[in-house]
Structure 1
């Protein structure tokens, strides 16, 4: 191999330090180009509807990918869970920026329990933590989760994402929906406003939506329920309802400050979800690009800094991590044995549900849709019990 000096045009001796330095640079560039080329030049991403934080964050990341890698990305928004998942599982979108519907789809529950769906073999690449807790009106005198018993709790019609979070936090204190006065509101907005309007005493929410600030400024006042991070029994009981939460100390939002933080839960919204059959190299390249472009998008919104890979690349998430993402996280020194143990258990759960679904389909050809779903609930419960 001969390399010429670009200034003099003369050959550089192969045993010289200059030759070795130039060769090293060439190899580094070649490797970098190879890794960049693993990222598709065009992509279609799914997200929540225009105006949502999920759409804003997907757009900011897409813009960063375009500037850094010249990737052309189109975002397909949808206001429904099925509208976000259908294109992904059919291969019309490559990735989707999702929330709890990823868990529902992987579990085969709610909108995904009929014959046309069932458990979906999904994988996550990363997801930023979003905090939340039971929020109460201060004058309701609810100071811990157990105090919610007998109180008016706002649920949302047709919104299992919010409702399952309420049920999970109730389970933390050994309570169920039957232990509270569950009031169903027609919209998420109505449920949020119900506290300041005096129509409910508690609900689940994030700290930053405007109705939370309105509650804090209202005569009722605001109080966030602490979720003790070291109560192992409580966390186990919550995980039995939804194993998607982790402890999180929040200091940003209505009624919160650096001097007045609250122990809440974190779940992932948005998180980047793809199919299990995506190649490991593509998953690796996307995760790497997400990390390398962080400085380009981290200031796009008030919480975009939580996409830092050290936060976004750790479980729990709603579905297992893709092996390609794990490879990159291992290279970064982020992925631990504990993370791998979580991922193995999460994948075992998903695999058990996939097997149970196929068995249910085989046994239910003559059943009505209602009878089919009843059979699936039994088979699903049995599959989960087998993991204990």
Structure 2
């Protein structure tokens, strides 16, 4: 694991002691900051609403938090409409967006960079408290209804490819044995379990929605993603290469101690985001941490130390403004430059290849669609030689 000199810690301490006004020099903040998050029932939305008012008070900016539960819509608002400046997005979703997985294949690709670490969210497979399911292996018997969040290509991949692998099935066998129940939002997908519309759903243990579900008649229980199941995790990792296995330590009481997966949420910005803005945002997140860390449990996961720890395994590019700040406090070195430059090059290669595929498809009169075999063949031709994004272990 990467380590840094004691001097770096001293620099951080000096910055924190300086206080927000002094630490931010005389930077002229924009009049308004708009941050997009998943829906109102998520921890991402709640925790962003924790630090937003603190930043508003300290910088004079008007900070608006916009919940957008549809992942595709939130991406478009960040990269195309440009009516949000920052988006809270899971690392897994970012991979799908960049590599054009699922529905993302049919939209133009845009480069996005990490601004800051938001939280490390535990996920698990939940079922009703009176379900006969005790293990993911039980699903192999067939006949079970799987809630499928069609609003997120990443969640679709999880339940249609990753979950079958853990149960010892191929995706094709799963199509025959499972009943996939579409859900148009995260809340609808998870609630399907307690409302009797599905037998199992993939949910984040920290969202307020799960507290509501836990209190429902019969309650809920979690099916462990056994870390000793090497074959199961290998198959799941092929479908979800951005998650990390391990016991759940945050969230609703019923999930604590159950083995699941962790997906990091990140505050992402467009690659063309102003460097000074990104630098001062990073500086504020680090040096005002003590002022906002108690506003929500997930806000406590936004320290510069935790961010630095995440960067030891991240495959995603970091914005130059954030890099500038981390260098300034001694938490970025030449080794980081090397992997980050490689991550930028990988991002650029995927964006160029996918947009070239879209251009070729349209020139041939082929409608870009994840369901069109002719289009998918063109996309595969352009991206076949590219290295995908995967956690650096």
* Corresponding position of 2:95: 103
Mapping for residues 253-332 of structure 1, pairs under 5 Å: 253-256=251-254, 261-269=257-265, 271-313=266-308, 314-315=310-311, 319-329=316-326
* Corresponding position of 2:243: 245
* Structure 1 residues 122 and 145, CA gap change in structure 2 (3 angstroms): same
Mapping for residues 108-257 of structure 1, pairs under 5 Å: 108-114=100-106, 117-126=107-116, 127-137=118-128, 139-149=130-140, 150=142, 151-166=144-159, 167-172=161-166, 175-177=169-171, 178-179=173-174, 180-187=177-184, 188-209=186-207, 212-213=210-211, 216=214, 222-228=220-226, 235-256=233-254
Shift of 1:59: 3.1
Aligned residues: 355
Shift of 1:84: 2.4
Looking at structure 2, the residues matched to 226 and 330 of structure 1 have their Cα atoms a distance apart, in angstroms, of: 40
Shift of 1:378: 1.8
Looking at structure 2, the residues matched to 135 and 341 of structure 1 have their Cα atoms a distance apart, in angstroms, of: 40
Looking at structure 1, the residues matched to 339 and 165 of structure 2 have their Cα atoms a distance apart, in angstroms, of: 21
If asked which structure has higher relative contact order (CA below 8 Å, sep 6+), I would say 2
Residues 292 and 299 in structure 2, CA contact (< 8 A), matched pair in contact too: yes
TM-score (normalised: structure 1)? 0.73
* Structure 1 residues 309 and 236, CA gap change in structure 2 (3 angstroms): farther
* Corresponding position of 2:348: 351
Specify every segment of 5 or more residues in structure 2 that has no aligned partner in the other structure, as ranges.
1-13
Q: Tell me if 1:73 matches 2:71.
A: no
2:286 partner SS: helix
Residues 353 and 383 in structure 1, CA contact (< 8 A), matched pair in contact too: no
Cα RMSD (Å)? 3.9
Q: Deviations over 1:289-318 (max 9, x none)?
A: 112222222222343222233334514668
TM-score (normalised: structure 2)? 0.73
* Structure 1 residues 282 and 158, CA gap change in structure 2 (3 angstroms): closer
Residues 101 and 153 in structure 2, CA contact (< 8 A), matched pair in contact too: no
